[in-house]
Structure 1
Amino acid sequence: MSEVLTLDVVMDGLVGIVRDIAGVDVEPGPERGELSFTDDLDIDSLSMVEVVVAAEDEFMVTVPDAQIPKLVTLGDAAAYIHGEIVRTAK
């Protein structure tokens, strides 16, 4: 079985995706998980779909459309994706 990615690795990947899609640089640190996609990162619904699709490709997971509105912060998205990685690794 391959090694499961850590939550920090998932967060770093998401930060890179946000930078590539929205052109927003996210400062390193524990508070980055609290950043809101809409309020802090200025990501609209169309860009959010792009972020999700890129994350699905990057991490080889599926994020159902109904889950997207629940991903309010970077931390929410990282936790969900990490949970899916762990779940599918079993």
Structure 2
Amino acid sequence: MAMAAARRALLTHLRVPVARPAAAAAAAAVGSIPVASRRLLSTTEETKGSFLDKGEVADRVVSVVKNFQKVEPAKVTPTAHFQKDLGLDSLDTVEVVMAFEEEFGFEIPDNEAEKIDSIKTAVDFIASHPQAK
């Protein structure tokens, strides 16, 4: 109890300058934006930064598929379907998804892995995943 009172007394008299992120500082400069919106804007900018660029993801996904031993690299395109265009069966598709997990450093849940049936769906999923590296 005495610690809480001492802490409260110290905090009421102590002023510490806080550095603001650029997005929050720009939002603070506009007087018409409410504080709650500024916080949301700042959080949104931080979240955006954690996602990968779709072009980079597409290049890496195509590279992973081209390096898969059962795929003819000449057939790999950004819109190629694993079974229809590349001739992979369901077990091969699972192996390709596992290669994506290794390449991008995160685990793809089984229910999402079942939906990945083409390079385009793989790129869309990975680019929108916050844990992809």
Across the two proteins, how many residue pairs are aligned to each other? 84
Provide the TM-score with structure 2 as the length reference: 0.53
Q: Distance in 2 between matches of 1:27 and 1:51?
A: 15
Question: Which residue is 1:17 aligned to?
Answer: 64
State the shift of 1:5 in Å. Answer: 2.9
Bigger Rg over Cα: 2
8 A contact 1:7–1:78 mirrored in 2: yes
SS, match of residue 72 in structure 2? coil
Identity %: 30
Q: Which moved more, 1:32-41 or 1:3-12?
A: 3-12
More helix by share: 1
Instruction: Give the match for residue 53 of structure 1.
Output: 98
Q: Distance in 2 between matches of 1:4 and 1:46?
A: 29
Deviation at 1:24, TM superposition (A): 2.3
Matches within 5 A, 1:1-90: 4-21=51-68, 22-26=70-74, 32-84=77-129, 87-88=130-131
Q: Given the superposition, is the C-alpha separation of residues 81 and 25 from structure 1 closer, same or farther in structure 2, using an over 3 Å criterion?
A: same
- Structure number with greater CO (CA < 8 Å, separation at least 6) is 1
The secondary structure found in structure 2 opposite 1:33 is: coil
Residue ranges of structure 1 left out of the alignment (5+ in a row): none
The answer as to whether partners of 1:18 and 1:24 remain within 8 angstroms in 2 is no
Kindly state the Cα deviation for residue 37 of structure 1 after the two structures are TM-superposed.
0.8
Alpha-carbon RMSD = 2.5
Paired with 1:23 and 1:5, the residues of 2 have a C-alpha distance of 26
- Unmatched 5+ residue regions in structure 2? 1-45
